[in-house]
Chain A
């Protein structure tokens, strides 16, 4: 009875605390500007099914992709077992679903095999980080916390899976002994090999079984609450993030409506622009000037570095790293969100995403090649943030290098980015050979 109470308390606290954290993230994402992204729902569901559920872009890198599928499928399916654990925990039962008989054995057997695959996957991931030292996992933005975060996640997975398998092994051994309520239930293709490693006497076995049971479930509840401060939050956000992703051709950049009104007014004096929102800027200086999808992108990023590893600017040694753009956006949003929570909407700490986090040198190194967007397995778009920062630098500050300014004035005056006369446009056709 006491055990049941403790369980319910732990479970309740974990859920409440998790909800509070998620609400904070939703609040932060909502600090972004509106963006209508609900068109073509059928296509959006299809993209989500393919990219998130189907992991289509993960397998572009086969080793990481397949190992991730082990971990991902394992996690999702083993969570069915967690349902049983929760019911057992609340009602003080033991293996409540065992009445399913043959099907139960099948389920437990699948969980065990998946748990083994998860362990394989996680060990490969650990090896890639700790032994092989893949280049993709380093870089200026990969400071202590992001590096430790990745290792913590993997170690937690190892511990959870080991506890799960040890628990089953002890349970199975007790079943074989015919001890107490440990009726024969389930089938244990993996943990049967652990049986001989365990002590022979029943009371020790019960203790092992119970401690693993508690460790497993408390571990899961703790892990749940670790998600929102970690890149591991992607296991939830990957789904909405792909659903709300950009469906237009990647080459197409948005036409800014605020600019359109002014341009129309300039070309046609009779056009009356709708009253402008006085707060709105051209482009983005800080996180609040970005749209909510860009902010959700930032919380979804797994810091995997696929974007940075294909970025022509980064490859050739420039400061720009699209992964850093995403991480900076997230870190600034966390900071800004905290401030708004304390001081309200006009919170101003004199800092901004541009300059305090992302430097001018970074944004101007981008070739707008879309390689980062193509590479991201969860449909994140770092390029759109870079473009919005550039727009701010150009249109609000007129802060660009002389050569770009010269290009602008050539386009404006000569209708070409170079200093040629429009009258010479047809010269190619003249000295026809």
Chain B
């Protein structure tokens, strides 16, 4: 971002990468896939790079409102400093926080989730909409809580899968009734409480029941949890977990 400003340019959109997308090895691949898509359709985008910081979501869900608001106010200063108007992110938690919780603290931006941008690009014909290697595969979509129930976005990610000519199956708990992967509410950063089993194992049983070969998702935390679920059942050979951005990048030969 700083470079663009130095060259006197203005991005169409800011790509908010998020902490998982920046640091988590598996999630970095999602970030790269999405950046490739943006380049492919020649959208002029920028990232904040080292000036980006945690949105404060995990602190807020864990009850630390102080820390959340400190993070939010600092981020808003940075975003406003660059006169950012439009933000896209591949993380439903960042999406929800910036879209819904920043306005009350003075940060007003148009915020979209990457699956929504991908949906628009497919509808506008800017992205190829053919199945390629996914043709005929059994694919299911796991709804991230903060995208689905949290913000009522159910169709955008499915649109990117519908165009694949794949065999789209729904798990028995899907859309507004979707089961959480177990990471939200800061659970990602602590040990689970005592219980019969882990939540991602329960969710993985839905995947197995749907007999899906590919689990698509739109959240780096769901990605981690479901991948762990796949490992738990030793299904690494049979089941792939992919982000909508990765699938879209692949069918577009990126």
Interface residues of A (CB under 8 A from B): 248-253, 255-256, 259-260, 262-264, 266-267, 282-283, 310, 312-313, 315-320, 361, 364-371, 373-375, 387, 390-395, 400-401, 403-404, 406-408, 411-412, 415-418, 420, 422-429, 432-433
What's the interface size class on B, roughly?
Answer: 35 or more
**Chain A residues whose C-beta falls within 8 Å of the C-beta of B17 in the assembled complex:** 425, 428
Which of B32, B59, B180, B198 is packed against the most chain A CB atoms within 10 Å? B180
Tell me the minimal C-beta distance from B245 to chain A in angstroms: 13
Residues of B within 8 A of A364 (CB): 190, 193
B105 CB to closest chain A CB (Å) equals: 6
**CB–CB B73/A368 < 8 A:** no
Cβ-closest chain B residue relative to A406: B189
Identify which of A259, A315, A423 contacts B66 (C-beta below 8 A): A259
The smallest C-beta distance from A411 to any residue of chain B, in angstroms, reads 5
Distance from B70 Cβ to chain A, minimum over Cβ atoms (Å)? 6
Q: Which residues of B contact A417 (CB under 8 A)?
A: 19, 54, 58, 188-189
Q: Known contacts A255-B69, A255-B105, A367-B145; is A248 also within 8 Å of B100 by CB? A: yes
B163-203: which residues lie under 8 A (CB-CB) from chain A?
Answer: 176-177, 179-180, 182-199, 201-203
B104 near A312 with CB under 8 A, answer no
Q: Which 3 A-B pairs have the closest CB atoms?
A: A251-B150, A317-B196, A390-B63
B67 within 8 A of A: yes
Which residues on B sit within 8 Å (CB–CB) of A403? 189-191
A sample of 16 more A-B contacts (CB under 8 A), given A251-B149, A252-B101, is A251-B96, A252-B96, A259-B69, A312-B182, A315-B179, A316-B198, A319-B193, A365-B195, A368-B186, A371-B145, A374-B176, A391-B64, A415-B71, A416-B22, A417-B188, A426-B22
Inter-chain contacts of B49 with A (CB < 8 A): 425-426
Rounded to whole angstroms, the CA-CA distance of A240 and B201 in the bound complex is 39
CB of B155 within 8 Å of the partner chain: no
Cα–Cα, bound, A368→B61 (Å): 7
Contacts of B195 in A (CB 8 A): 313, 316-318, 365
- Is B47 an interface residue when CB atoms closer than 8 A count as contact? yes
On whether the beta carbons of A428 and B22 are closer than 8 Å, the reply is yes
Question: For residue B193, which residues in chain A have a CB less than 8 angstroms away from its CB?
Answer: 313, 318-320, 361, 364-365
**Interface pair B146/A251, CB less than 8 Å apart:** yes
Closest B-chain residue to A398, C-beta based? B64
Residues of A within 8 A of B104 (CB): 255
27 contacts between A and B (CB under 8 A): A250-B150, A252-B101, A253-B61, A255-B104, A255-B105, A260-B105, A312-B203, A316-B199, A317-B196, A365-B195, A367-B187, A368-B145, A368-B185, A373-B149, A393-B63, A394-B63, A400-B62, A404-B190, A407-B189, A411-B56, A411-B67, A417-B189, A420-B23, A426-B47, A426-B49, A428-B22, A429-B32
Does A408 lie within 8 Å of B50, measured CB to CB? Answer: no
Given A404-B190, A411-B58, are A316 and B65 also a contact pair (CB < 8 Å)? no
Alpha-carbon distance between A251 and B28 when the two chains are bound, in angstroms: 25
Are the CB atoms of B71 and A267 closer together than 8 Å? no
Once bound together, how far apart are the Cα atoms of A317 and B104, in whole Å?
A: 37
Please pick, from A250, A267, A317, A422, the residue contacting B149 in the complex, using a CB distance under 8 A. Answer: A250
Q: Does the CB pair B19–A401 fall under 8 Å?
A: no
Q: CB < 8 Å: which of A252, A255, A262, A425 contacts B22?
A: A425
